[in-house]
Each structure stands twice: as structure tokens, then as C-alpha cells.
């Protein structure tokens, strides 16, 4: 027996000294046995059952950089309490249950965390969902996004037609700046940014050319252009101001009529529209104030009242009436103007004309067709009626 105990202890002591503390040791104290003492079954059981594994059992082993598929791990079954072994794939590397056995979330909150691996520093890290989305938005490939309901898109449709005039709870759209960074913009601001370019060559260029540069859409000779008319003139001959053939080829010029349509942009409604030429002229007539009046040249006759409709809308504050020399009448030449104020009847010392005005008309009343016009040489002359005309100027 003594030889047996010595053999057992000698075999165990190298391991016991490091990895395992036995439940019974050689000595005279408690939990010890002396050399030559009888080894009972109770002591033998104590040797094993009271033994404890030391941390060095793990820490003293040779280090390994990472778990590999062929590694084996010892585990205790939670249900049966028995030992089992797992290889590296079963324990971690291909253990899909780490994900598939977790609770299912129907939504993701901004503060939810994701586990990430940093390949640069070789460490794990965590990131909140909100930060993950914000930092990765610049890498989104827009062409890969699915929007149409016919090809499996998952985004809900917007419930109503957006109102560009509303500033409450506006819908947003996503755009990218020149650096590729995603940004948001409200629907109203998006439309407002485009309105200034509608009808120009920046937006809807085809419509712009139709309205303002139709020559760029004409076909070649004898081909039908975009409006369905036969273009008998080459497009190269239709660039205004640069090609003299524009005025020498067989283009038919049609006079404007009141019903012709004129395109314009409504700045209040931000829309493109048209109005007839007649309506445009009527608007100008009513909206643009008349600031002065010059009459046409009117025949000069004796004892005749001449009425001029000035159209100023008010009684003019300045009125000037003249005799316009139409044909040379010595000493006056064609183009000379002589004010009628102060001209006397021939051989009389009283005036020959009266000039009156109201909010509608200016009236010249003449006594004689031969007023006395001073010549500047101490004499006067009597104008030849056929050589002179009346002309009137007025300001409100």
C-alpha cells in the first residue's frame, strides 16, 4: 500500500503543484497523511473529491491568437448537467444561433447599437443606429434604390398631393450637394427654386425652344417641322441677325392680328400662359399713362375751328400751338415753327387766334387765314395757307 500511495502521489505532484490542489497531502496536519500510514478508502476519496483546479490550469497554457475550426472546448449541458465538447465552428465561428435565436425587433430605434469590427485597429466597436445611418448616407447608390410599387418597393406612398404653399408639416425630399453629401429640402423650397427657371433654357429646354427659338427645331428643306408645317427654308438660314438669306429666301411674312397668341410668365401664379395680341395692346392702352401729346400736321385754313383730341385724361397744364412751315414761304423755310400766341390779325391790333383746352380736347379758333407774322426787319408777312399747317403740343 505504501508503495502504491507513493506512486500515486509521485505521479500527481507535478500537476498538483501547478494546476490542481489535491484534497489530501503528505504531512502530519489536518487533511494530510503520513508516510507509512494506512490509506483508507475515505482518505482516497478525499484525495480526489476535495481537490480544486487552480487558475494556472488555464493561464499557464500556451497562448493561441484566435479560435480555429479544429479547436475543442469542454462545456456542461445546462439541461443534463453532463460534459460535452464543441469545436471552434460550433462554439463561435459558424454558430448562427447567436443571431437567429435572439428576440425579433419590428422597428429600429436611433439609440439601438450595432457591433462592428475595426479592421484598421483590429478591435470591436459599437455604433448607434442613428450614427450608422448618418455616416453611411453619403455612400448610398441612388440608382440601386427601389421606389416604384411595381418592382417591390417597401417605402410607403405619400398620402396626399403636396401643397407647395403650405409651411406646416411639409414633405421633404432628399438631394445631394456638389460634394455628394445628402441633404434635405422642403417641397415648397424645391419648387420655388425651379420656378425662376421655368420657361428658360435651363428647365424644359424643348418648350423654351418652341416658344423663343423655333428656328432650332425646324427640319431641313422640304421636311415637316415640329408644328406640322412644311419648312421650306434650311435651319441654317434662320438664325436671326446672322444670315442675310433670312430676308431673301421664300419666307412668307404674315401680318400680326389681334387674335395672335403671345407667351408670358405669370409671376404671381408661377405658371406659363398666353394672351392675345389684342388683349395685350388693350392692357397697355389702359395701364400705361400718356405723358405727352403731339398732334399730326393739320391743314391751315381761315375762319375754321380745329379740334385736337389729346387723350391725356386730364386738362393739360402746358399747351403750345404753332404754325408749321410746310413749304418754303419767305423768309421762312420748311420745318420752321411759329407760335400762334400773340399773332395779330393782318392790319389789326387784336389777336387772330384763341386756344382752349379741357380734359379731352384742345381747340384752335382762327379769325383770319392771313395773320401778321413779324419778319424781324420792321415788317410782317401774311402766310400762304397752302404752305402752312397747324401743330399742337401738350403735357398733363
Per mean pLDDT, which range of 3-7, 63-67, 289-293 is the poorest? Answer: 3-7
Q: What is the mean pLDDT of residues 77-89?
A: 90
Q: Residue 335: its pLDDT value, please?
A: 92
pTM recorded for the entire structure: 0.31
Sequence-ordered alpha helix ranges (H) in the chain: 2-16, 41-49, 56-59, 88, 97-100, 129-136, 187-195, 205-212, 277-287
Which residues, other chains included, contact 74 with Cβ-Cβ below 8 Å and sequence gap of 6+?
A: 83, 84, 85
- What is the residue extent of each domain of the chain? 2-59, 205-247, 293-395
Beta bridge partners of 361: 309
Q: In CATH, what is the architecture of 293-395?
A: Sandwich (2.60)
The C-alpha cell 455616416 sits at 135
CB 256 within 8 A of CB 265: no
Work out the burial of residue 188: count CB atoms within 10 Å of its CB; fewer than 13 is exposed, 13-18 middle, 19 or more buried.
middle
Which residues, other chains included, contact 292 with Cβ-Cβ below 8 Å and sequence gap of 6+?
A: 393, 394, 395
Per mean pLDDT, which range of 13-17, 270-274, 305-309, 390-394 is the poorest? Answer: 13-17
R_g of the chain, CA atoms, integer Å: 55
- Residue 27: asked if its preceding bond is cis (omega within 30°), the reply is no
pLDDT grade for 144, boundaries at 50, 70 and 90: low
CA 312/CA 394 separation, integer angstroms: 9
Q: Residue 334: its pLDDT value, please?
A: 93
The pLDDT tens digits for 319-349 are: 999 989 999 998 899 999 998 887 877 666 6
Q: What is the mean pLDDT of residues 204-227?
A: 55
Tally the residues of the chain.
396
CA 164/CA 189 separation, integer angstroms: 8
pLDDT grade for 44, boundaries at 50, 70 and 90: confident
- Three-state secondary structure of 276-343: EHHHHHHHHHHHCCCCCEECCCEECCCCCEEEEECCCCCCCCEEEEEEEECCCECCECCCCEEECCCC
Q: In 10 A of CB 85, how many CB atoms?
A: 10
Q: Residue 99: its pLDDT value, please?
A: 87
Amino acid at each position: 500500500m505504501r508503495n502504491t500511495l507513493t506512486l500515486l502521489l509521485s505521479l500527481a505532484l507535478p500537476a498538483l503543484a501547478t494546476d490542481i490542489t489535491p484534497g489530501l497531502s503528505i504531512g502530519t496536519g489536518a487533511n494530510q497523511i503520513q508516510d507509512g500510514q494506512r490509506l483508507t478508502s475515505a482518505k482516497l476519496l478525499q484525495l480526489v473529491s476535495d481537490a480544486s483546479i487552480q487558475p494556472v490550469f488555464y493561464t499557464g497554457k500556451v497562448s493561441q491568437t484566435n479560435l480555429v475550426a479544429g479547436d475543442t472546448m469542454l462545456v456542461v449541458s445546462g439541461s443534463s448537467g453532463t460534459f460535452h465538447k464543441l469545436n471552434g465552428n460550433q462554439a463561435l465561428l459558424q454558430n448562427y444561433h447567436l443571431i437567429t435565436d435572439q428576440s425579433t425587433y419590428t422597428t429600429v430605434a436611433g439609440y439601438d447599437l450595432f457591433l462592428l469590427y475595426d479592421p484598421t485597429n483590429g478591435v470591436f466597436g459599437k455604433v448607434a443606429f442613428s450614427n450608422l445611418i448618418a455616416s453611411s448616407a453619403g455612400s448610398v447608390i441612388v440608382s440601386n434604390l427601389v421606389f416604384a410599387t411595381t418592382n417591390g418597393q417597401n417605402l410607403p406612398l405619400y398620402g396626399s398631393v403636396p401643397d407647395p404653399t403650405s409651411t406646416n408639416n411639409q414633405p421633404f425630399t432628399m438631394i445631394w450637394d456638389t460634394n455628394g453629401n445628402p441633404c434635405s429640402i422642403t417641397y415648397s423650397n424645391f419648387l420655388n427654386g425651379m420656378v425662376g427657371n421655368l420657361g428658360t433654357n435651363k428647365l424644359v429646354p424643348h418648350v423654351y425652344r418652341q416658344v423663343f427659338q423655333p428656328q432650332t427645331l425646324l427640319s431641313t428643306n422640304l421636311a415637316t417641322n415640329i408644328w406640322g408645317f412644311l419648312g421650306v427654308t434650311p435651319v441654317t438660314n434662320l438664325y436671326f441677325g446672322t444670315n442675310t438669306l433670312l430676308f431673301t429666301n421664300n419666307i412668307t411674312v404674315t401680318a400680326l392680328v389681334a387674335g395672335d397668341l403671345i407667351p408670358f410668365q405669370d409671376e404671381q401664379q408661377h405658371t406659363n400662359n398666353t394672351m392675345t395680341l389684342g388683349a395685350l395692346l388693350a392692357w397697355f392702352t389702359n395701364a400705361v399713362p400718356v405723358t405727352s401729346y403731339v398732334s399730326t400736321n393739320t391743314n391751315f385754313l381761315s375762319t375754321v375751328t380745329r379740334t385736337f383730341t389729346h387723350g391725356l385724361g386730364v386738362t393739360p397744364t402746358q399747351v403750345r400751338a404753332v404754325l408749321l412751315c410746310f413749304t418754303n414761304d419767305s423768309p421762312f423755310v420748311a420745318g420752321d415753327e411759329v407760335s400762334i400766341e400773340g399773332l395779330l390779325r393782318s392790319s389789326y391790333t387784336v389777336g387772330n387766334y384763341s386756344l382752349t383746352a379741357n380734359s379731352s380736347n384742345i381747340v384752335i379758333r382762327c379769325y383770319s387765314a392771313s395773320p401778321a407774322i413779324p419778319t424781324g426787319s420792321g415788317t410782317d408777312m401774311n402766310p400762304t395757307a397752302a404752305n402752312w399747317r397747324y401743330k399742337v403740343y401738350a403735357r398733363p
